[in-house]
Structure 1
């Protein structure tokens, strides 16, 4: 090879090496890069609890907007508050606007600045509502601004509410500009009422994928429950989401396996879960809805509970009111009196009758004395209504002690002997043919007193007082015992109780009973099957209005829960033929309280009905001949041996002493290899469910034992589990 040829070869090799390496590098750059994974944990820009006395905090400002006189409106830091009396929602401090001391219309803004990295922000905060000065419209406005000067109002929250307490609010702010400064303001406006309080302000990114809807529900064994959910895509572009359900014990299914959601839009999906027919009440199962694609992975638990029953909507009452008396009589339900449409309204004179067979309401003879805050009970076919308020308000004004008696068959009211003292917000019950008025309020204090009315003597007498003073409580008579649950021991600052006690008339004392699962007051009450004590709706701070019905099983001493279709308090309830109805009350929706005419009924599951009152029966009996007569109530005690002879178990009635005869009928519980041995027991003067026999000889039976063992119907054992409150209300 010549030198020239060698040079050419080397040059070509160098060129090939250079261009080949460049091509390889280009191919590497053209490989698809992995898409970045978006974390579901949002960025938190503001998390302020106002705990430091240095106020306003860093990146916050206060600005007086309107000041007509002194003192000027202002936002300050406080560790506790008066007018209203309140403590911080968390930590050592809270932000305070002086509505109480500054004039009507004066306003000041508390604001903060941030620079978001997303186009959607979510703000949440806790706001204190108070019941004092109900006519003063002190208001909090939530506002936003892009320049810190010109603000736009996004939401308005009145300060007044019938019940004091903290409420959490949340709103999305889809108007932030990425990378540009953004302002959030809280504008307090005084109406010379009570002060405004806020705490725990959080501003963060909105999660990229969200699931909305009820993810916990309950039904009877054999029911199929549907969970209508909504999946939202907060990304700026369309997303295709893969759907899957994790394995679960109870069958569950999806309508499809993929879901395409346009940018910043929502799409529905329904999950189906079937409760097996063999499931027992108070059991539950969980499946998990799994959403995923290249960007996200999100799991949502779905919990299904096997319940004692469920609530159904019925025909609404003709009247929207709270604190009515609701009572059943003559196969119908009656709603008597009440208050509406607001806190200061006078009592209503209505007597309304609901016929469950036609699902309809009718007007009946009005009350002679209109009243609210009463309870009613049916005694000897007539409805007894005692005391209550005639006027609105929470003082002793208009508090009465009158006894009003109604005949459902004649549609006539008449008067009876007055209660010895004016009362309201008590509980009424009938026990052993007498009317009991338990607890309540005298306008200033909750009471532990018990008054008993005897219709035969037409006299009131004092009964044994409860261990705890209770107003706004719930009462029920189950198994000849009078239960009193929840309520409040104070009137001025109503704090719900979670205790329960019962009155045993045979001992004439009050005894402790299992506590409620949580604090509860202003709920309705009823009983089912002489076994279940039901407390419907009510409220327990910080929950303002509840859709919970708590059910106490007297046989097992267990609580469980079944949710109504609406949230209410101040409603009343009673049962007709083992169906509970709850009527009226005060609803809370869209940050507004309204009087309700809602009527719902509780249907107990068929499974519970078939096992609530078991009656044991034996399938095999034999007759034995005895050489002497038993002298007392007999029971056989067996000692097994290796022969095939039945076990003898005589079972007399519990209401009278047995009569001795020359022959006895003996219930046999045979086995394959047992011989009974009869032992003697000293006579007993009181018959029991487990009687004892005195026999001097072993009887000779004429029965041939069968090869199988007879069984008796028994109640199915229930797990001691309380089903927690389900729902998505932030309170």
Structure 2
């Protein structure tokens, strides 16, 4: 498959947010982007729900969430958006679950979690939401795996993960739910495990090669897990920015040797990352510069090298991002203070607006 060349990628600034926002959640329903919650400049969780309509490049304010929250886990079930856990106004984890019907424009309260959790990872399988791990009010990680049935409005417990954690990365491949990394009491974990939905059992996979946090985590179309950059921790050393790339091949069940991977050009953490038109793309984040980065690079699979793309219009880290119709939208984040920037990366041959 031919991939676009570096000069074909183009950034465009879109209609800004009403105010700076960070730790908000994004999802897509019907080709449109919904933005939920987040924190404002003074760290207050927001109840906001906004819809970005690309046709008119405008934001529409929708009915607010009943519960203000930041860092919520979000799952799309048909035309409904399920919002799970996160951090509430008192800065504590939430057990409240709410659902927005995009056709009716209404919120409904749903069955709560068994306990308040933040840092839950959520995936959808066969119309049901699978919620993995999280951190409780006692600041300890959980190993819980729970499944939400929309029709019954019930959370069912499935066999727990071998390793308790929060902020893990989850990916569904056929009947298998992969859970990579995450944190325990602010420390990154190397655990990599897979849940087989048919046998309802967990298998421990070879651990991630290094402890890292705030890196990029991507899955390619061939079922390979790609870990990019981040903050690396080892022994008693302090955290260090890295440009390392590690790749796990699920068909072989092993991590590729280091000589089979290509490091990024720039050491960075807390950046936006995505697969876009067959290329791994990383944008912004933090590095060894004193301020947030605007640099962008993309991996060319045939040339086997990272190439610089045009920089972002607004340097920032801690963004929320989503790919919709082969375009990467990067929303909010931080550049010393929460940012209201909103921009899109697309291939120039297809004018976006």
**What's the TM-score bracket when you normalise by the shorter of the two chains?**
0.5 to 0.7
Which residue in the other structure is 1:656 paired with? Answer: none
| CA distance, structure 2, for counterparts of residue 475 and residue 528 of structure 1 | 14
| CA distance, structure 1, for counterparts of residue 104 and residue 56 of structure 2 | 21
After TM superposition, give the deviation of residue 497 of structure 1 in Å. Answer: 2.3
Alignment of 1:255-654 (within 5 A): 281=5, 307-342=7-42, 345-364=43-62, 366-367=64-65, 370-373=68-71, 388-390=86-88, 398-399=92-93, 408-409=102-103, 414=110, 418-422=131-135, 425-432=167-174, 436-450=178-192, 461=202, 464=205, 465-480=207-222, 481-490=224-233, 494-511=239-256, 513-529=261-277, 531-562=278-309, 563-587=311-335, 593-606=336-349
After TM superposition, give the deviation of residue 335 of structure 1 in Å. Answer: 2.2
Residue 20 of structure 2: SS of its match in structure 1?
Answer: coil
| CA distance, structure 2, for counterparts of residue 317 and residue 528 of structure 1 | 24
In the alignment, structure 2 segments of 5+ residues that lack a partner are 112-128, 136-164
Aligned CA distance change for structure 1 residues 328 and 319 (closer, same or farther; 3 Å) = farther
Partner deviation per Cα, 1:159-218 (whole Å, 9 max, x = no partner): xxxxxxxxxxxxxxxxxxxxxxxxxxxxxxxxxxxxxxxxxxxxxxxxxxxxxxxxxxxx
The TM-score with structure 2 as length reference comes to 0.67
| CA distance, structure 2, for counterparts of residue 553 and residue 439 of structure 1 | 26
Aligned CA distance change for structure 1 residues 539 and 401 (closer, same or farther; 3 Å) = farther
Alignment of 1:11-160 (within 5 A): none
After TM superposition, give the deviation of residue 483 of structure 1 in Å. Answer: 1.8
| CA distance, structure 2, for counterparts of residue 405 and residue 526 of structure 1 | 27
Residue 566 of structure 1: SS of its match in structure 2?
Answer: coil
* Kept after mapping to 2: 8 A contact 1:379/1:435: no
Aligned CA distance change for structure 1 residues 404 and 542 (closer, same or farther; 3 Å) = farther
The TM-score with structure 1 as length reference comes to 0.35
Residue 551 of structure 1: SS of its match in structure 2?
Answer: strand
Residue 546 of structure 1: SS of its match in structure 2?
Answer: coil
Residue 606 of structure 1: SS of its match in structure 2?
Answer: coil
| CA distance, structure 1, for counterparts of residue 79 and residue 11 of structure 2 | 28
After TM superposition, give the deviation of residue 528 of structure 1 in Å. Answer: 1.7
After TM superposition, give the deviation of residue 538 of structure 1 in Å. Answer: 0.8
Rg (Cα) greater in structure: 1
Aligned CA distance change for structure 1 residues 376 and 467 (closer, same or farther; 3 Å) = farther
The structure carrying a bigger strand percent of its residues is 2
* Kept after mapping to 2: 8 A contact 1:569/1:586: yes
After TM superposition, give the deviation of residue 600 of structure 1 in Å. Answer: 0.3
Partner deviation per Cα, 1:129-163 (whole Å, 9 max, x = no partner): xxxxxxxxxxxxxxxxxxxxxxxxxxxxxxxxxxx
* Kept after mapping to 2: 8 A contact 1:321/1:339: yes
In the alignment, structure 1 segments of 5+ residues that lack a partner are 1-279, 283-306, 588-592, 608-731
Aligned CA distance change for structure 1 residues 310 and 469 (closer, same or farther; 3 Å) = same
| CA distance, structure 1, for counterparts of residue 59 and residue 194 of structure 2 | 32
After TM superposition, give the deviation of residue 586 of structure 1 in Å. Answer: 0.9
After TM superposition, give the deviation of residue 336 of structure 1 in Å. Answer: 2.6
Aligned CA distance change for structure 1 residues 339 and 603 (closer, same or farther; 3 Å) = same
Task: Using CA pairs under 8 Å that are at least 6 residues apart, name the structure with larger relative contact order, 1 or 2.
Answer: 2
After TM superposition, give the deviation of residue 365 of structure 1 in Å. Answer: 5.3
| CA distance, structure 2, for counterparts of residue 355 and residue 320 of structure 1 | 19
* Kept after mapping to 1: 8 A contact 2:68/2:89: no
After TM superposition, give the deviation of residue 484 of structure 1 in Å. Answer: 2.1
| CA distance, structure 1, for counterparts of residue 202 and residue 99 of structure 2 | 18
* Kept after mapping to 1: 8 A contact 2:134/2:166: no
* Kept after mapping to 1: 8 A contact 2:27/2:74: yes
* Kept after mapping to 1: 8 A contact 2:226/2:246: yes
* Kept after mapping to 1: 8 A contact 2:268/2:285: yes
| CA distance, structure 2, for counterparts of residue 381 and residue 554 of structure 1 | 36
